[in-house]
Amino acid sequence: MFSYYLDLALRSLRRNRALTALMVLAIALGIGASMTTLTVLHVLSGDPMPGSSGTLFYPQLDPRDMDSYQEGKEPPRQVTWIDGMNLLHAKRGDRQALMTGGAVPVQPAQSSLDPFYSDARYTSSDFFAMFQTPFKYGRGWSEADDDARARVVVISRTLNDKLFGGKDSTGQTLRMKDTPFRVIGVLDSWRPSPHFYDLNMDDYANTEEVFVPLTTSRDLRFDHNGSTDCWGTGGGDEEHAETQPCVWLQFWVQLGDAGKVAAYKEYLTHYSQEQKQLGRFLRPVNVRLPGLMEWLDINKVVPGDVRLQTWLAFGFLLVCLVNTVGLMLAKFLRRAGELGVRRALGASKREVFAQLLVESGVIGLAGGIGGLLLAMIGLWLVRREPSEYAALAHLDVSMLLTTFLLAIGSTLLAGLLPAWRACQITPALQLKSQ
């Protein structure tokens, strides 16, 4: 029966090509606009660590003095060197990582390449396991390497291609700031979106090209990039950053279940109370432990204009659907005589209704194809924008399926009223008028 209804729908659509084209165009414009903005929103608000985000947490403490104190205000979004090291060495989580970002001068061995700066991540050994970084060659470093301030480095696939022609470079030497480092690992393609583990380096920044132990970076005084907030006598002196009253490091912890989360938050409270007794913390205890997705919400990672554009695009889709309802109603009522004859020959209201909905579905499918093409053009235009997230605007499989489901579903919904109205036609009246 479906094939029969489909044949009738195609015949009907071919008889009124101009009206069919208008309906398809209306749906395509609405779908194209809404899917362009929805895809951008999907990319920006997605889970950067699917399957693991529920176990990643960002501890917050408040070590500041009483200057400008406000009760209930959020603690700093970074930690001091002293607090970061204390939390790291306490090992109260399943894994923990202390880190910051920077830039290092790379001195290639090849005479054909000039020295250049690469974005770097200075971190501790659990970083790679905690964030499930894929390795093409080698591995990350160990806790012993952290303690020994070892001259070891993990590099990105891009940097490996540039310096070593894409070959396995583990064991090779890479000179940075006139210091030889031994390459122990090469990451495979990896770009979590957003750049959640350090939102001070742009929300959608590219993955760093160089990873070295945090302790090594301090030993060699590698340049630090990002935010530094100081109070009291703190002047942000990088040479003495370990002792300055400044927050400038990010700290993440992995906790496997709700019991561990509660225990860790209690530990943070006790730690703050202990530091307050020692005179380091002056403010009332103020600790927080947001999860990864909550942390993204706190930092308002998704730009407000993207959400607004998405709502406006769906409003435009609604306008397109209202126009489509009017066009379908006109089309179906013009076929009153044909539908009356079908009813007189024994077709039930239900069968006529199903026939008209199949016709609506065909229009939706055609509009979905047109909308997909328009969405691809829209995303191409987005990628040409100077925004930091522009390069991420690509359709994935889920968005591709959503395009057709939204097109067909919305068109079927739009066709309900015209189809129902057409089914109310009295067959006898139509037969008399023929």
Computed on alpha carbons and rounded to an integer, the radius of gyration of the chain in Å comes to 30
**Is residue 412 within 8 Å of 364, Cβ to Cβ?**
yes
Which of 123, 115, 119, 118 is closest to 178 using CA atoms?
115
Listed range (158-162, 206-210, 412-416) with the worst mean pLDDT: 412-416
49: how many CB neighbours lie within 10 A of its CB? Answer: 17
Mean pLDDT of the chain: 85
Which of 347, 339, 351, 357 is closest to 426 using CA atoms?
339
Distance from the first to the final alpha carbon of the chain: 27
> pLDDT tens for residues 357-402?
787 888 888 888 888 888 888 888 887 776 666 666 777 777 778 8
Contacts of 164 (CB under 8 A, 6+ apart): 172
pLDDT computed for residue 270 by the predictor: 96
Distance from C-alpha of 133 to C-alpha of 169, rounded to nearest angstrom: 18
Which of 280, 403, 418, 262 is closest to 352 using CA atoms?
418
pLDDT computed for residue 343 by the predictor: 61
Q: Where are the beta strands (DSSP E) in 44-197?
A: 56-57, 95-107, 116-123, 135-138, 152-155, 173-176, 179-187
Backbone angles phi, psi at 117, to 5 degrees: -95, 140
DSSP 165-197: TTS--TT-EEEETTEEEEEEEEE-S---SS-TT
Q: Taking 50 as the threshold, does the pLDDT of residue 431 lie above it?
A: no
**Is residue 62 within 8 Å of 98, Cβ to Cβ?**
no
> pLDDT tens for residues 314-372?
888 888 888 888 877 777 766 656 666 666 666 667 777 777 778 788 888 888 888 88
pTM of the predicted model, to two decimals? 0.77
- 145 DSSP β-pair partners: none
**Any idea what the Cα angle at residue 355 is, between residues 349 and 359, rounded to 5°?**
140
284: how many CB neighbours lie within 10 A of its CB? Answer: 12
Q: What percentage of the chain carries pLDDT values higher than 70?
A: 88
**Is residue 127 within 8 Å of 133, Cβ to Cβ?**
yes
Residues in the chain: 434
**Is residue 57 within 8 Å of 252, Cβ to Cβ?**
yes
